[in-house]
Structure 1
Amino acid sequence: MKVATMTWLIAIIVGGIAGWLAGQFMKVNTGVLINVVLGVVGSLLANFLLGIFGIAITGGWLAYLISGFIGASLLIFISKKIKN
């Protein structure tokens, strides 16, 4: 398997876990696909926002899991505020 394929596979798995954890923490019930999207997009968002403050998330899957959790939680929070 190519390295790029493995990287995307790991990003999807870690993103799904991060999205699921954020959903449990924020008390929302989402499906597997939404969990993956929340985790991956949330990780990108968190890395961008933390980069503005000079904090760089580097390292293995645990760092991506933490940043995905932070970003997904932020996305859920924003969507809850928009709905209300």
Structure 2
Amino acid sequence: MTGVGWIMTIIVGALAGWIAEKIMKADHGIFMNIILGILGAVILNWILALVLGASAVGLLGNLIVAIVGACLLIAIGRMMRGRHA
């Protein structure tokens, strides 16, 4: 997450992961929420940079991107688990 320090990245990641967990009706722990939030933000910002040539700016922009990215990661995880079951 550009323009955000490490501690704030963890806080935004945890919040985004928790919100995504509630939206997707999933059940993860705080550590997994942090990972999903941070990875979701990194991956979706990368995709936005490829498609639009720009990534999210500021705390609110990064939080929104992290929530959407974490929701996508949860959905992908559910699809992959469904195929192996």
Q: How many residues are treated as equivalent by the alignment? A: 79
Instruction: Report % sequence identity.
Output: 37
Runs of 4+ with >3 A deviation: none
- Residue segments in structure 1 that go unaligned for 5+ positions in a row: 1-5
SS for the counterpart of 2:7 is helix
Deviation digits for residues 11-64 of structure 1, max 9, x if unmatched? 000000000111110110100000000000110011011112115234211111
| 2:51 is the counterpart of 1:61 | no
In the superposition, the TM-score normalised over structure 1's length comes to 0.87
CA RMSD of aligned residues (A): 1.3
Confirm or deny: 8 A CA contact 2:45 2:56 kept in the other structure: no
Aligned partners of 1:29, 1:56: CA distance in 2, in Å?
32
Q: How does 1:19-34 map to 2 (within 5 A)?
A: 19-34=17-32
In the superposition, the TM-score normalised over structure 2's length comes to 0.86
